[in-house]
A and B are shown apart, each in its own frame.
Chain A
Amino acid sequence: MTTERSLIPNPSLVAILLVVRDTAGGNLVFHYPSLPRAGAAQNTSSWRIGETNTDYTSSNSSFSPSSDDEDADDRRSRSTVRLYGGGGAFTEKSGVNSQRSRSYDQRSSRRRRDSDHECDEEEDDDDDESGEAAGAEWEHVLGFRHDVLAGLLNAPRALSRARFELSVDHFVFIGYPCYNRGDGMWQRRKKQKKPKSAADGANGAAEGKEGLQSDADNDDEDTRGNDADDEDHEAAALSGSKSPNPPPSERKKIKRDPWKMVNRAPSRLAMFHVVFVMNPPQLEYHSRTNDMYDVAKQFTMALKTQQAEDDYVAREVERIMELRERSEKRGDSIHDLWQRILRESTLATAIATLYQGISASKIAHIKVNDFDFALQIPTMMETAVLPSISEPQLPGMHLTTLKTIYSMPSEDEDVLMTPHFTLLFLEDVEDIIKEVILDQDQTSLSASFVQFIQNCRPTVSFAQMLSSPTSNGTSHLESLEYQYIEYFARHLIYWRKARAIMPLHYRKYYIVSPNADMKRLVSQSLIFSRLFPALPPLPKMLSLLSGKPRPYSAYIPSKDHRQAYIDMLAWLMRYGWVTNLLTFAYLKIPKGIKVAVRERQAREQAEAAVEVIQAASINAAAVAVNSASPSTASANVGKSAANGRPIPSISARDINDDLNKLSVSARDDSISSSRPKTGWLDMTDASTTAPSRGSLVTAATTTTTSTTSGTPFEKMESSSGQLEDSILYDPSRATPLESAWIERLTDGQPPDIVILFDRIVRYMNGQHAIEMIPLRECISKRELKRVLNAMNRYLVYVRHW
């Protein structure tokens, strides 16, 4: 991918279209919104933390750990039902619709100017009630004629079950066309049913038509039955969310009945294609369309399962088409028609819900044919880089450079560290648990899921959670394996319920996040004072935390306040007000150390130099003899510079080079030629595997890092004269000389310090938080502190998030 993934969600969704192909050909059955506008896609340009985690707390949204759970439970449908059965969302939506139909007049006339066909007879559409006007409303979608668009998206069978990506000018059409199987069925049937369907397929055209007709009638009845069912349910949901739902067994029976009837003949539906129309910014094209494709495919697969089960899509399409025909005869406006369709068709409702959710970068809770699931485009929850002043801002987004746990296992993660994280819930724990209980069958897994959520504290890491069972002693967590914890955690993170953090602790440092959303200070202060009436107000807390960084305990007046202050800290973290200040360290090599190392090496070298030159001349002769077989050659010169060559292809000129270099190295007092031969290998390896780091000195003017073994030598020679303080960039991949320096740093320290320092020195590269070292290396914080204090002279600390 050449385009960078932007942190800011921008679904760029313009509309969702449903295209089908049946015996009568292709048709654009439904689209949402009713009058899509290209401009509507571009309105989500700013990121607000509230949009990702507060808005959906208000809706009692469905939430299931496995969205492909086949055993759907009706009770989960409540959010969907409520959304369209009444309440705020509905009125808001109709408000939007009426606004759109008001503004339609101007736009339709503009469109007529643009398009050059058959619009002249529709002059009088000022009156929305006139039949012709309504027809005109329906005839164009996104500036395309209805039939043109239907033909365009009616993908041939060859493109079935594959990514469909078409762009026409600035509109991109993303989908996953789904054809039936060759025999007209949607799923492999059991053996005894096969002959029957085959016979049906072989029937004459007229007979087949009749069969289909009666089938359609059946469908109608069924759907009507289903309708009543839905209304029942709606009423139940409206009468009070706490009202007991009908037992699942009963509902299942109702649901299974139509399935048997439809099962008799193959559906007349040959293909359906849910198309997501997008208008992505050019430079984000790839990432935005890929995100949308994932949603499109998941949605299509869910529909396909329902279609295979009881011809769901075909039934819904039939119903929508019927409504359209009726409305066309009556001359209804598109607004009225769409209202009716959304009321009567669950598929249309699902598409509308999906559109509203996805286009607002929220989680869409969808119900198709009593099967509930949720879809979303995953968003980023945290960022390591503070956007600069000229970049799009992400106010309130959590800042951290830690590689925490993500919704999906990724290479970025540090497997060793994941057990030391914990979850910070972004919603009230009780709400989350309520949802989980509502959604789940009472299986053992969901019980431990609830248990996990209950026991998860922002102060206790997963590892600690496992090792010390909770106070009640009979905790399920004892039996819970770590992999489940990780699975649960990822699940909660994926569905935006939680974020992984380093466990909160009063000894750690917390600062006001430079990315805090100060525009929300007033509104959040009110909430804050309501939640923590006994504590200082929010502005006061932020002011305290903006001072010179101190451990959090410094702000806690007494031990009794500790819990309250930790709770407050969790709240501040949740809304991105504060972030954890971490410490990173670099190793500084002072000039004195370098001089000392050089002097010692010079001494050692003087003794070994003569010997090396002799060995080299012998080897050179050996190489000349064995030049045909490089492996033997390199084996022979194992002790000399030829080993430094990554590919030991040796020519006469190379030998000369080698000799030259040897003499150079013999003269060069900064190189210890008496070091073991592996040392030579190391040095060249380092320069080949990490060319950017190949230089050993700060003042090096040469930037060439070629793979030839000559470079390090020349560099060292040129630099040997001017030694000065320098920063060691990566102690874990130190060259022999650097290793010698590091060794020298611990001279005169007690042996235990030397051993410990050896263990932790590889973290001194500015990438690993000092706070993480005790966890990683299983050493106590006290010991770490002792080592760091002892080595303080050679460490440069960097503190950031």
Chain B
Amino acid sequence: MSIKCIFYSYFDADKGPRVLYQVPENSVVAGADSPHPTLFSFDEISDYIIPKQQLCDRLITFCRNRYRILGYPVCLEDGKYDRNEFIFNFVIVLDEAEEFSSYKPVVKKIARLFKALEEQAGFLWNEVTRSSVHTLIEQVMEDLNSYCECMIPINESNTINLKLFPVIPPPPAVKAYHVPISTVRFESIMDSNWDLTMQRIIPYIDGVNSVRRIAELADADYTLTKKCVAELLYYGCIIIVDVFRFANTYAVNGELNHFINNVGGGLHEECQLYISSSGKLIDFPTILELYTSLRQGLTVAEWSLENRDKLVDVDSGSTTGLVQSP
């Protein structure tokens, strides 16, 4: 995950689209003595970097030479510019196969920031202030690649604040019959600043209660509870399973292999601890035998009678199984 290059390009009234500053040097437009070829030919695709006025103020990406070029061309109209308009673009270059969604807001933000700077004081038009752009983009690239964020002051009133946020798919709709199971220890991460509904409902997230039941037990509003559960789901703090019932039939599936092969991953120990909470530690092969004896056409009630001698806590045992191999 890294930026290959950042460059600043603008439309020159005499020479057409130009690249003024680039980091690293010679990556887009090479000097005569550059030992390396450029990432791609700028002239071939300059139409997509400095486009027509109608396409400005939009996020434009283009792929060339296995690189993805992300830009947000900005067009400013003013009498002081040649041809009365000034088009510029700060472009980030990534590998084509790279997941680039988190860079899109960054490109947009850089463009808007420099647009504002230019409108305020002609930052880019003025040759003196403009010369600092090179250092700025160099710093941006370095910080984003190393820390995924940056905070670079430009002048007293302006700062470049950027951060790459991972894109997470939106959580599925939470239903009343969904049963959340925590995958984290809420006690250790929750503090008094958390949402009030959240604080109320979390004690009832135990892998048995459904969303509706949680709302009732916690005496919380159902709609708010749903929202909280969706939020937890979004951040992966919980997963959702079906309501556990003794009349249900459960069976293992192919994912069991991951569970069994998870030696040293702590899953076995976690499972042993979870199941054996009220008694002595059950060894792993016994647990596995218990899980594999769950099968089609056999309800949990029947199953627990069959395995009476081995069982400690049917309820939590099955729930763990569902978590590990739903």
Contact = CB atoms under 8 A, between A and B. Distances in A.
Interface of A: 1-3, 117, 144-145, 148, 151-152, 156, 158-159, 163-169, 282-283, 285-286, 384-386, 388-392, 401, 511-512, 514, 546-549, 581, 586, 588, 692-695, 698-703, 705, 724-727, 729-730, 766-767, 796-801
B261 A692 contact: yes
B55 interface: yes
Interface string B90-124: 00000001111100000000000000000000000
A727 B297 contact: no
Interface string B266-307: 101100000000000001111011001001111000000000
Contacts of B60: 166-168
B307 to A, nearest CB: 14
B101 A282 contact: yes
A312 B74 CA distance: 41
Given A282-B101, A692-B264, A695-B264, A800 B240 contact: no
A725 B257 contact: no
Contacts of A703: 264-266
Contacts of A148: 52, 54-55
A401 B254 contact: yes
17 contacts: A165-B61, A169-B59, A282-B101, A283-B169, A285-B101, A385-B253, A389-B178, A390-B239, A549-B297, A692-B261, A693-B261, A703-B264, A727-B260, A729-B260, A796-B285, A800-B251, A801-B253
B317 interface: no
A165 B178 contact: no
B16 interface: no
Interface residues of B, number: 58
Given A586-B288, A698-B284, A796-B289, A283 B256 contact: no
B191 interface: no
B196 interface: no
A438 B307 CA distance: 61
B288 to A, nearest CB: 6
Contacts of B45: 159
Nearest to A766: B257
A388 B256 contact: no
Interface in B215-239: 233, 239
B241 interface: yes
Contacts of B241: 388-389
A283 B99 CA distance: 8
B62 interface: yes
A390 B48 contact: no
B129 to A, nearest CB: 30
B101 A386 contact: no
B187 interface: no
A65 to B, nearest CB: 33
Across the A-B interface, give the 7 residue pairs with the lowest CB-CB distance, nearest first.
A2-B99, A548-B297, A165-B63, A401-B254, A158-B44, A390-B240, A703-B264
A144 B47 CA distance: 16
B264 A694 contact: yes
B283 A698 contact: yes
B295 A548 contact: yes
Given A389-B241, A730-B261, 5 more contacts: A158-B44, A390-B178, A549-B297, A692-B263, A701-B269
A767 B239 CA distance: 26
A145 B97 contact: no
Given A390-B239, A693-B263, A385 B254 contact: yes
B260 to A, nearest CB: 6
A169 B58 contact: yes
A168 B56 CA distance: 10
A74 B63 CA distance: 39
A3 B47 CA distance: 29
Contacts of A389: 178, 240-242, 326
A726 B285 contact: yes
A698 B268 contact: yes
**Most chain A C-beta atoms within 10 Å of own C-beta, residue among B101, B256, B264:** B264
B70 to A, nearest CB: 9
B172 interface: yes
Contacts of A145: 54
B256 A166 contact: no
Contacts of A392: 172
A546 B260 contact: no
A1 B97 contact: yes
Contact of B48 (A166, A282, A766, A796): A166
Given A2-B97, A391-B172, A548-B296, A800 B264 contact: no
A152 B53 CA distance: 12
Contact of A158 (B41, B261, B264, B286): B41
Contacts of B61: 165-167
A725 B281 CA distance: 13
Nearest to A386: B253
Contacts of A401: 254
B296 A549 contact: yes
Given A388-B240, A692-B261, A698-B283, A796 B253 contact: no
Which one of A384, A390, A730 has the highest number of Cβ atoms from chain B below 10 Å of its Cβ? Answer: A390
B33 interface: no
B264 A700 contact: yes
Contacts of B295: 548-549, 799
B167 A283 contact: yes
Given A165-B62, A166-B62, A169-B58, A546 B296 contact: yes
B285 A801 contact: no
B227 to A, nearest CB: 15
A348 B163 CA distance: 46
Contacts of A798: 252, 256, 292
A623 B309 CA distance: 58
A391 B52 CA distance: 43
A386 to B, nearest CB: 6
Contacts of A725: 283-286
A388 B181 CA distance: 13
Interface in B38-84: 41, 44-45, 47-48, 51-52, 54-55, 58-64
